Structure 1
């Protein structure tokens, strides 16, 4: 699925940066497998699939060849630009699974291609609440035309939608081949064994952490539209071989776009624990069984419509760090030190002088990971971005009206120590035409 998507997508933010999630879930919405890409999307698609299927009227309205489009932030866990395509998988007439890809579209008709000051979800882009893009294998052209009409970069988005459709179909065909080869009964037995093995990995790690309550705190610089920091607290409860991440004391949902929807809040715990306990194993639903996340509706980490969510990723990034901070307060050998500031995302857009064609591009510019007892922190690799990458200079310059004049590691930016942190990166770009740019930098 990942390979099919990357080989056919139009936008570098998908095929180079890898800002997407590609996964297979069983009928009960348990994650069988997710391709390495943006870690922050880990285990969010069960929420998305559930809401997408509800949007078309439930399982009874699903047919072989259907593909649903869904991008409501409260179901995807993301901003509207992270749009998902969901495909049911049938075997001998029985619904057995879903394939899904959530990927970042460069524009979806929000007030800007990348907004930092929205006050409700309606300013952030067009919302598709679960509608069929393909019905029984046939393109629903009216829906496709709506998607293309509601973007500043229609050629890129059209290509990316088609690439996502190719990706979910690739997963569907591959899964059918496996089930056809081994039979449905053996397939389901194997799934349970895989889940049980994943569960044991995380539970074994948790038994090495003493029981108790651990506390950490974080702080957003502001909420995007109002002055003043937004602090939040996290409680972590370790009990034998399970963990509870309690976010219920978070501040109320904010007037600006830093609200983090529930799926991404849950993902922060899943990603953090999988990274600590995973032993290089590919996570699956079993990894998540020992993890419980508690939230309160109407708060920063469980916002309700129409709360703006465009910058959801920044509190999610911090929540991961605070989770480690809480455990590290008593057992620093168990977790890495905090990373540097944040991923420092930048999105550029404009119109090319020669053709008048609208263009857009974007990329994170992460700083170094914190060091640990095991060694130095990784360079240019935030925890939550650890499977993504920069677009090559040649790709940037070929697609966009600019020259990249410098890409270099920043000397002595690592936080010296026995095991140092990772270095940051200095990127300089000369714009050859008028260009708009939006950047987000937290923990300044």
Structure 2
């Protein structure tokens, strides 16, 4: 039982050594990263060890984030609401040696597949913190292997719903609970991934205890109080420089897995008053009957991602901890697409991060023109599962090399093929050879998609084009995407004269010679020899394209990324006959 929950005494200026505070902050940050490295190297699933669809976090005893390794930021920022609920749920029934598993989206989770392990950290019988690992498990029950099924209509069809549940109690593993989980998960290696998560949390807890023993608990807690307060004060000072006012922005998702042409509005009203900022999503559309509903934990994570982008654009670098988000408040309307009523399906909710971020950027474009980012082309990914004929074993995989492009910002082009806002560019690109070794796929090509970037003084990032063949037995494929051209999607918005983003296209060619467009949220059979052709569009541009230096336009034409026709039409840049130099006279005349 927790023996001491008293608050650490308030630190005074005389108690705090700024150098010690800096060392402690970096030491705990390194612990979170050590945990992530350990998890990737000891896990079985390529989703963990190849892609890095995971996070590791160190919290204080009250559940405040101290440091995190945010390979998938949308998951990282979804860990805090989960722990808040766990602390409330168990109360004083937390003991040294307990290990808790949780994924329930209706009680703090961000996505059922994103399952968390939470381990309380004790020293001398006193709770001093928490170590957590959270990641996308390759299977978590439900009616489809891998968890993604656009035909799901409620939470029970999607996954095994896990409220706070102890895998171990007072250091003793609970065999009944482990067996319950294993009985509802298709792939044996998933249980090994869960054990790897427990292992990395155990190491993280051990490292924190070592730090506390070195510096003393009172010094450790008082310095962390100082660190969190320092982060809060820095952020409040920065937000205090932003213009007060109320700002509105909207973004749209197309297709909910039920109606492929239906559009859903994600709307935000942002109110800035002094150093406080409120993100109100009450004006968003009602929840979807399909899988495209976003739990509040995921929506809060998306808000934090957009907030970090705004801070970073201003050159503000603050460690990711609870103090960083102290000025932020969020509001949601129950029954909306970003706060659905139970038991709505939610497996696609993480991916609405793109729309949340775009709505925020559009809202603040006039207030913070030097901070906002033009629209990122929406998420593009396929998941697949079946039986690998080489081994006779089941497999599940993501083809996350289908990377769309982010938007441009003032002074900087969008990064090429960065992909989903929810991973903030940190989730890794899978090794094509490892994909072919571990799953029955043959990748034909994967490269930048020419002419895909939205034109601008600072262009959007380029998207990618890919093609692969499948040869799994009983293989099915599931799309997890938006911005499909054939569904009539709206492109992501350009800013200040920049052009809108590209759109996405996905086509399937079957062994019998037939073919079809693959919808953004659709499950299909993939017989042996099926070929998939993917075009993931680029991001939107920022600023008038005709202000872009002509030599940059020429360089991209030379590299094969930009066609001479688009260079002329969008950028007003005319090249000589062989395309090796700018025709200065004609370019000046055209741009004039």
Q: Report TM bin, short chain.
A: over 0.9
Q: For residue 321 of structure 2, what is the aligned residue in structure 1?
A: 284
Q: TM-score, normalising length from structure 1?
A: 0.95
Deviation at 1:18, TM superposition (A): 1.5
Contact 1:108 1:150 in 2 (8 A): yes
Q: How does 1:33-432 map to 2 (within 5 A)?
A: 33-55=67-89, 58-112=90-144, 113=146, 114-154=148-188, 156-226=189-259, 228-278=262-312, 279-340=316-377, 342-364=378-400, 365-381=402-418, 382-385=420-423, 386-432=425-471
Gap runs ≥5 in structure 2: 1-34, 485-592
Moved more, 114-123 or 275-284: 275-284
Change (3 A) 1:363 1:101: farther
> Do the aligned partners of residues 433 and 301 (structure 1) sit closer, same or farther apart at CA in structure 2, a change above 3 Å counting?
closer
Q: CA deviation at 1:282?
A: 2.7
Instruction: Please list the CA deviations of residues 288-344 of structure 1 after superposition, one character each: whole Å capped at 9, or x if unmatched.
Output: 10111011222221223211111101223210111111101443222111111x221
Following TM superposition, the consecutive aligned residue runs of length 4 or more in structure 1 with deviations greater than 4 angstroms are: none
Shift of 1:54: 4.6
1:440 aligns with 2:480: yes
TM-superposed deviation, 1:200: 3.0
| Cα drift, residue 76 of structure 1 | 4.2
CA RMSD, Structure 1 to Structure 2 (Å) = 1.7
Displacement of 1:277 after TM fit? 1.2
- Tell me the number of residue pairs that the alignment of Structure 1 and Structure 2 aligns: 440
Q: Distance in 1 between matches of 2:227 and 2:177?
A: 38
Is contact 1:53–1:130 with CA below 8 Å preserved after alignment? no
State whether residues 57 and 76 of structure 2, in contact with CA within 8 Å, keep that contact through their aligned partners in structure 1. Answer: no
Contact in 1 for aligned 2:232/2:324 (Cα 8 Å): yes
Report the counterpart of residue 2 of structure 1 in structure 2: 36
Any idea what the Cα deviations from partners look like across 1:371-430, whole Å, max 9, x if unmatched? 111211111113322211221112111101122121111122111221111111122222
CA contact (8 A) 2:81 2:108 kept: yes
- Cα offset for 1:363? 4.2
**Stretch deviating more after TM superposition (404-413 or 427-436):** 427-436
Q: What are structure 1's unaligned runs of at least 5 residues?
A: none
Q: TM-score, normalised by structure 2?
A: 0.72
Tell me, in whole angstroms, the C-alpha distance in 1 between the residues paired with 2:318 and 2:395. Answer: 39
CA shift digits 1:276-295 (9 cap, x unpaired): 21434331101110111011
Q: Highest relative contact order (Cα 8 Å, sep 6+), 1 or 2?
A: 1
